[in-house]
Amino acid sequence: MASLPTLTKPISETSVFLPKLSNLEFSRSKIRPLTRFNVFKNSKFSSDGQCSPTFDVPLLSCSEVIERMRTSREGHNTKQLYLAMYSSVFGGITTDTAAMVIPMDDHMVHRGHGVFDTAAIMDGYLYELDQHLDRFLGSATMAKIQIPFKRESIRRILIRTVSVSKCRQGSLRYWLSAGPGDFQLSSSGCHQTTLYAIVIKDQSPPDHRGIRVVTSSIPIKPPQFAVMKSVNYLPNALSKMEAEENDAYAAIWLDGDGFVAEGPNMNVAFVTKEKELLMPCFDNILSGCTAKRVVVLAENLVKEGKLRGIRVENVSVEDAKRADEMMLIGSGVLVRSVVQWDEEVIGNGREDPVTQALLNLLLEDMKSGPPTVRVPVPY
């Protein structure tokens, strides 16, 4: 499509918006409106965005749509495989990626009125499912989304979806939405709230090399929205894209008072020169389940003398950049060393021992931790 500066004529006279003005029959008494056929028949957009006369938009049957979606999926090169999906809209689980869809009038789609969470699948166990599920339901309450099932029913649905997928190494992501119903702003017209879940197998190899981060220029979410895990991730996506544009892995947010907050989808922590683990408090940011588990596991390093203590409090940028070690923590990234923030090198600029020790403790916990954090999946 032409950019705004190139539109030298009024919009009503611009071919980008009206490919064939002859399709309109003007008379003093009426204007015959464009129909589906005469708008799209025998016209197409060329590579420069202009309309040319050989394009047609077909009217497809339901079976044709599904087949085209299946073909599109087959031709899509991705490192992630979607192995199973549950939807309360159709009340069951599917393993056909062409059927892994949600209604367009679902308010999660067009209004962002939904919440989600994730649990890792490690060796046939769901890691911290209950901790993530509690946060998930709390987010739904804050978002004024009525929970459609009892907690135990949701838990069984999630475990069953993983079981059907036969995935033993991957992740489970799940959503609660205000539901389908209309395209209004309020959810009052929605039929009922909906639950979705999908099992994802990521084929990317693990990468624990040290990374670079930058300070985000994208405004952080206000605390009311930052503390819930809603689907409104546009600030997060823009922050991640900003980092990539600057050859960095992630962009770090500062809060309204200038203290270190979090990354786009992970928490951040530091090891001070006094060998204390320092983590920003969770008052105005998302309460990271993995980060809180790392705080518990870090007590082992205190007992071993590798850490002198653990503090969760406000962290200034100056103190953060003076730290011996910096790390990102999350269910996706696990524990990953940060070797540079903006132009400042962190510590000695290499992956450091405490960060590595915390990663090892977390991996061990995921593989052989107590029943409180590992839920077996009956395959």
- Residue 318 CA to residue 316 CA, distance in Å, equals 5
Strands (E) located in 6-98: 25-26, 31-32, 44-45, 51-52, 80-87, 92-94
334/352 Cα distance (integer angstroms) = 15
Measured distance CA(379)–CA(364) in Å, rounded = 22
Read off the tokens for 295: 């705080």
Question: What is the spatial distance between Cα 144 and Cα 159, in angstroms, rounded to a whole number?
Answer: 25
Coil, helix or strand at residue 234: helix
- Whole-number Cα distances in Å, 281 to 89, 151, 358: 38, 28, 19
DSSP state of 361: H
Active site residue 229: yes
Label the pairing between strands 92-94 and 211-215.
Answer: unpaired
What does the DSSP assignment read for 181-195? S-SSSSGGG-S--EE
**What is the torsion angle, in degrees rounded to the nearest 10, for the CA atoms of residue 92, residue 114, residue 75 and residue 333?**
-110
Whole-number Å distance between alpha carbons of 270 and 311: 10
DSSP assignment letter at 219: P
Cα distance between residue 191 and residue 33, in whole Å: 34
Contact yes or no for 236/274 (Cβ under 8 A): no
Angle at 184 between CA 180 and CA 190, to 5 degrees: 30
Radius of gyration of the chain (CA): 25
Residue 88 tokens read as 């309360």
Which listed residue (229, 303, 321, 367) is catalytic? 229
Residues with catalytic annotation? Answer: 229
